[in-house]
């Protein structure tokens, strides 16, 4: 079940690069006539530069600090659809905040995707600094490390392979409307 309006986001989307978090967030926001917020955009606005430049200029720890602040602010301020950056859930403070949000009735949806489906979506370009080098191997390693955390903090898992963003948004909306939790790969 999703959190009531005014008590945090209607839904929080998490998942790896290429899962479609930002696109699905926009579709859900349109479906529900709500605002959409993406913590990656928040970080870039505060830093005044793209994430890739933050990584190069200040390093990953600085980026993660900005990301943590953005997530915590969005969880308390935003009442629409919220998309988190792929690595945001690795922060223990963020994990606790998501657990509290979920315990209060909030929905944390893990958009799951395979490497085969993520590759054409991501394009493995330089705007994703954690995928530099051998992007496919890096994505696979990131996913292996992150999957347990995504599964732990989520209240619903929706597979995005073989689905358009509109189809994923519909699956999420239907699952939340009926109060279903768990996996949705059908």
Per-residue confidence at 183, pLDDT binned at 50, 70, 90? Answer: low
- Residue 172 domain flag: yes
Answering whether pTM is above 0.85, one says: yes
- Residue 89 domain flag: yes
Contact 42, 70 (CB under 8 A): yes
Asked if pLDDT for residue 33 goes beyond 90, the answer is yes
- Residue 29 domain flag: yes
Give me the pLDDT at residue 17, please: 81
Contacts by 88-96 with C-beta closer than 8 Å and gap 24+? 88/14, 88/39, 89/14, 89/146, 89/149, 89/150, 89/153, 90/64, 90/145, 90/146, 90/149, 91/64, 91/67, 93/68, 94/68, 95/149, 95/152, 95/153
Asked if pLDDT for residue 129 goes beyond 60, the answer is no
Mean per-residue pLDDT over the chain, rounded: 85
How many domains does the structure of the chain reveal?
Answer: 1
- Residue 48 domain flag: yes
Note the pLDDT tens digit of each residue in 163-172.
999 999 999 9
Give me the pLDDT at residue 102, please: 94
Give me the pLDDT at residue 182, please: 59
Q: What are the tokens at 83? A: 């998309």
Note the pLDDT tens digit of each residue in 49-92.
998 899 889 988 999 999 999 999 999 999 999 999 988 999 99
Residues whose CB is less than 8 angstroms from the CB of residue 46 and which lie 6 or more positions away in sequence, other chains included: 66, 69, 70
Distance (Å, whole) CA 118 – CA 138? 13
- Residue 2 domain flag: no
Range of the domain at 27: 11-184
pLDDT, average across residues 103-123: 78
pLDDT, average across residues 96-124: 81
CATH of the domain at 160: 3.40.50.300
- Residue 3 domain flag: no
Give me the pLDDT at residue 5, please: 43
Give me the pLDDT at residue 4, please: 45
Distance (Å, whole) CA 153 – CA 112? 13
Asked if pLDDT for residue 132 goes beyond 60, the answer is no
Distance (Å, whole) CA 18 – CA 173? 20
- Residue 104 domain flag: yes
Per-residue b or e along 150-161, where b marks 16 or more CB atoms closer than 10 Å to that residue's CB: beebbbbbbbbe
- Residue 4 domain flag: no
Give me the pLDDT at residue 48, please: 96
Residues whose CB is less than 8 angstroms from the CB of residue 73 and which lie 6 or more positions away in sequence, other chains included: 42
């Amino acid at each position: 079940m999703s959190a009531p309006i005014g008590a945090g986001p209607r839904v929080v989307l998490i998942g790896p690069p290429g899962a479609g978090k930002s696109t699905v967030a926009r579709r859900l926001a349109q479906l529900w006539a709500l605002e959409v917020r993406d913590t990656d955009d928040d970080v870039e606005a505060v830093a005044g530069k793209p994430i890739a430049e933050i990584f190069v200029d200040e390093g990953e720890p600085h980026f993660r600090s900005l990301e943590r602040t953005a997530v915590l602010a969005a969880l308390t301020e935003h009442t629409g659809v919220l998309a988190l950056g792929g690595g945001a859930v690795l922060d223990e403070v963020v994990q606790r905040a998501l657990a509290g949000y979920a315990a209060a009735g909030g929905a944390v949806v893990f958009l799951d995707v395979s490497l085969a489906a993520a590759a054409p979506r991501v394009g493995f370009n330089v705007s994703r600094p954690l995928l530099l080098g051998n992007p496919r191997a890096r994505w696979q390693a990131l996913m292996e490390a992150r999957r347990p955390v995504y599964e732990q903090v989520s209240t619903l898992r929706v597979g995005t392979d073989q689905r358009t963003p509109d189809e994923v948004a519909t699956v999420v909306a239907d699952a939340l409307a009926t109060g279903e939790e768990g996996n949705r790969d059908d």
